[in-house]
Amino acid sequence: MKTNRLSYIVAVLFLAAASLACGIDLGNTQPTPIPPTIAPPPTLAPPTQAPPPTAESSPVPVNPPADTGKFNELIQTFADKGYINSTEGDIIPIDPFKEEWAQIGWYQWWNLDIDAGNMVFSSHFKWSTSSSTPDISGCGVVFGLQENDDHYVVFLDKGRIAFMMKRGSNTYEVGKTRGPGQVNFGNSAEADFALAVKGSSAYVSVNGEVTEYTLSADQTSAGGVGLTVLSGTNSGYGTRCEMTDTYLFIAK
C-alpha cells in the first residue's frame, strides 16, 4: 500500500481546445489529497507525514448480472451521441461497493484489476458525510491509472462535478468544455452517474445531464480503473459512499 501527498495547484487546467466476466480485485487503497475547487480553495494544513496505511480490501468477485438491458441502452445512447465509437466490446459487472473515508481533503481508491481505454462506467451513487461541510466529498471513479500513479479522477459532489488530473506530485482541475458541471444535492444524496471516455474526450452524465471535458493531449486516458471516495471531513465516519448497479464497458 502506498500513500501520496499532493500540493495544491492554484492554476486550473483548461483544455477546451487542447490537443470478461472475470475476477475484480479491489486492491490497495491510495489516499490522495485534492486540488483547489473553482471557488477559493480551503486552507489545509499539510500533514507532517503520509497518512498511515489502511487494511487492504478483500477481493470482490464479479457476478453475472441479472439484466444488463438498461446499461446496454446507455451504451447505445452514448454511441448515437458520439461519446464512444462503437457498441462492440465487453461488459464487466462490478459487485456493490460500500466504503468510508475520514481524512478531509484526501481521496482513497480501490484498484480494479482492469485496464481500459475507450470505456463507459455506470453506477448508482449514494453518499453522505458525517458532518456538515463545505468541502468537496463524494463517490468517484479513477481511470487512466499508470504505474507511477498518474491518473484522472472524477467525483460527484453535492454541488458539482469535480474532474481532476494527477501528474507527478501535482493535481490539476480539468475544466469543462461544455455542459453544466454543477449539481444540487443535499446530505445524504444519490444519483445515477456515468462516465464515457473516448481518447482525449470525456463525458460525465448525472441523472442524464451530460458535461463534456477535454483531457490533456500529453497524458493518456488509457490505464487502470478504480473506485474512489473523497472525504470532506475528519469527524465520525467521514464520507460514506455506496455504489450499486455498477458496470464497466470496454470498447473493442
**How far apart are the C-alpha atoms of 98 and 189, rounded to whole Å?**
14
Q: Is residue 238 part of a domain?
A: yes
Q: Is residue 181 part of a domain?
A: yes
Local confidence pLDDT in tens for the 252 residues of the chain: 233 333 333 333 333 333 333 334 444 455 666 554 433 333 333 332 233 333 334 334 444 444 688 999 999 999 999 999 999 999 999 989 999 999 999 999 999 999 999 999 999 999 999 988 889 999 999 999 999 999 999 999 999 999 999 999 899 999 899 999 999 999 999 999 999 999 999 999 999 999 999 999 999 999 999 999 999 999 999 999 999 999 999 998
3-state class of 206 per DSSP?
Answer: strand
Q: What is the pTM of this model?
A: 0.78
Q: Is residue 191 part of a domain?
A: yes
Q: Is residue 228 part of a domain?
A: yes
- Residue 67: which domain range? 32-36+56-251
Q: Is residue 95 part of a domain?
A: yes
Q: Is residue 18 part of a domain?
A: no
As to burial, measured by CB atoms within 10 angstroms (0-12 exposed, 13-18 middle, 19+ buried), residue 40 is: exposed
Q: Is residue 49 part of a domain?
A: no
Domain total of the chain: 1
Q: Is residue 6 part of a domain?
A: no
CATH code, domain carrying 167? 2.60.120.560
User: Sign of the C-alpha dihedral, residues 154, 157, 160, 166?
Assistant: negative
Name the residue among 7, 8, 54, 60 with its Cα closest to residue 31.
54
For 80-111, write each residue's pLDDT tens digit.
999 999 999 999 999 899 999 999 999 999 99
